[in-house]
Amino acid sequence: MTEERWPGEERLVGTRQQELEPEVPVDEAELDSGEEEAEAEPMPETEAEPMPETEAEPIPETEAELAPPEEQLGDEEASEAERDDDTPPPDEAPAEEDELPRLRAPGHAPGQLSIPDGYGVITGSSDGTRRAVGIVVSRFNGEVTNRMLESALDELELAGVARQAVTVVQVPGAFELPLGAMALAKTRRFACIVALGCVIRGETPHFDYVAGEAASGLQLAALETGIPVSFGVLTLESAGQADERVGKGAEAVRTALEMADLFSQLRANATA
């Protein structure tokens, strides 16, 4: 038996089914559809993108082209100077022996002073007969100054100066030699003054000050008093140099006696 449908039956059946089904809100329907799509399409795994390295922005070529030639030249020189500063200086090669200054051997010029004939000449003598001599000596570096004093006293005996005509004054150091020499000279009891001392260079400039002031001070004492003051002060780089120079004491005595005799002859000629 065949079923026969009358017209409009299908439309009636559809409307009845819609009435029987529960109504679903629009939002829930959209949410359900979204969840179904999310379940259907899995999310791709995302990896952390590395941070792009920042580079200095290059100067546009247009700006470099617009700069004047003088500025471009200055920039090039500045860059070259920076490169020169960054590069370490090359090791300097040691100077060859031929390039080093040649030092002369220590000593003095040979020969004696020669004065032509026909001129009046006054020459002093180191004869110490009937002369009183004052000696001022420093105690500092006593090992050296003791030997210099012995050399000076021996030379005075050879020159004929009696012991009772010699007066020895001790001062603390070479810096005090000028003051002691000035005090002796101002008494007018001595024909000449002999100053003996020793200064040895150290690690500080103290040597230069003491040696320089001792020399200038002794010269000043002689100029202000008119009494010859001989310079018997050793200026050494080391104590070992004193062995060959302690004879400076005897040399200072000869110099003082000669200048005293010279002054005596000048005074005699002035009153003649």
Residue 203: the pLDDT is 87
140: Cα separation from own chain's centroid:
29
Indicate which residue of 130, 139, 186, 206 is catalytic: 206
**Within-domain flag for 44:** no
**Within-domain flag for 138:** yes
DSSP structure class, residue 161: -
- Owner of token pair 């220590």: 106
As given in the structure block, the two tokens for residue 261 are 């005799």
> Residues 121-154: pLDDT tens digits?
888 888 877 899 999 999 999 999 999 999 999 9
> Residues 21-32: pLDDT tens digits?
555 554 554 545
**Within-domain flag for 17:** no
Distance CA 177, CA 217 (A): 8
Residue 180: the pLDDT is 97
**Within-domain flag for 230:** yes
Within 8 A by CB and 6+ apart from 175, the residues are 210, 213, 214
CB 233 within 8 A of CB 174: yes
DSSP structure class, residue 165: G
Residue 20: the pLDDT is 54
**Within-domain flag for 4:** no
Residue 169: the pLDDT is 97
As given in the structure block, the two tokens for residue 255 are 């110099």
The CATH number of the domain holding residue 228 is 3.40.50.960
The answer to whether 108 is a known catalytic residue is: no
> Residues 187-227: pLDDT tens digits?
999 999 999 999 999 888 888 999 999 999 999 999 999 99
As given in the structure block, the two tokens for residue 22 are 């529960």
Specify the number of domains making up the chain: 1
**Within-domain flag for 255:** yes
DSSP characters over 178-208: HHHHHHHHHTT--SEEEEEEEEE--SSTHHH
**Within-domain flag for 89:** no
Quickly count: other Cβ atoms within 10 Å of residue 225's Cβ.
18
Handedness of CA 122, 126, 132, 137 (dihedral sign): positive
**Within-domain flag for 184:** yes
pTM of the predicted model, to two decimals?
0.60
Question: Containing domain of residue 234, as a range?
Answer: 133-271
